[in-house]
Amino acid sequence: MRSLSASELLNIWEWGRNQPSYSRAIRLLATACPETSIDKLTQLSLGQRDAMLLTLREWIFGSQLVSQVTCPSCGEDLELNFDVADMRVASLSLEPVEKYSLELADYEVSFRLPNSLDLMAIAEHKQLDIAQEVLLERCILGAACNGKLLPLDQLPSHVIDAVIAQMAQADPQANVPLDVSCPACNHQWQSLFDIVSFFWAEINAWAFRVLREVHILASAYGWREADILAMSPRRRQLYLEMVVGR
């Protein structure tokens, strides 16, 4: 994997403005990993995908992360500052594990971890319970009780809950909790960190800022967009200061 140029990032942003988050994630990784097939990228677990996106985000925007949340108790807006290292829960292999197994009393279940293809498959289901059912149907590869094969709808709820818990344990980067405390009312809660949404929000703000810079410099000097984007951010800023100081 490599970092992305300003031109590549701007092209991805333009393409992805009306795309779902899972498509944006794969497009970012596909551009950063030209040697890796789309099939392999979409079959990575969500934790593997997010670990790669976290690294890519660090290469492009640096290690510091700034986010805003609203306290669910008093409505206070809070600014959170943390480091990329704080969001890395483990060092993950990028080779997909095809099958996991769970044994619970008389039950045996084999399953795989959710991936981007699964997100695409459940996107049309707006009800959470139906989406979860479809996701489990795709990810549970087989189930048996006392050696007798069982369909998914005959698995008891405590076994399904155990499968979900083991999925989360096997792929921790897919669900990274943030411990938040409100200084205004002392309320404490956990908020999940979504690298895809966070990264895209940063890309969106960056793109509008860069397009304004391109407009100013192109208007002042007649330069092409490609030439302006090829400049380092520092050099671009220096030229902007010269234009403003005229």
pLDDT in tens, 156-172: 999 999 999 999 999 99
DSSP state letter for 97: P
DSSP state letter for 245: T
pTM assigned to the model: 0.90
Pairing of strands 107-111, 100-104: antiparallel
Residue 103 · residue 145 · CB < 8 Å: no
> From CA 23, how far away is CA 219, in angstroms rounded?
34
> From CA 94, how far away is CA 32, in angstroms rounded?
15
- Share of residues in the chain with pLDDT > 90 (%): 84
pLDDT of residue 154: 92
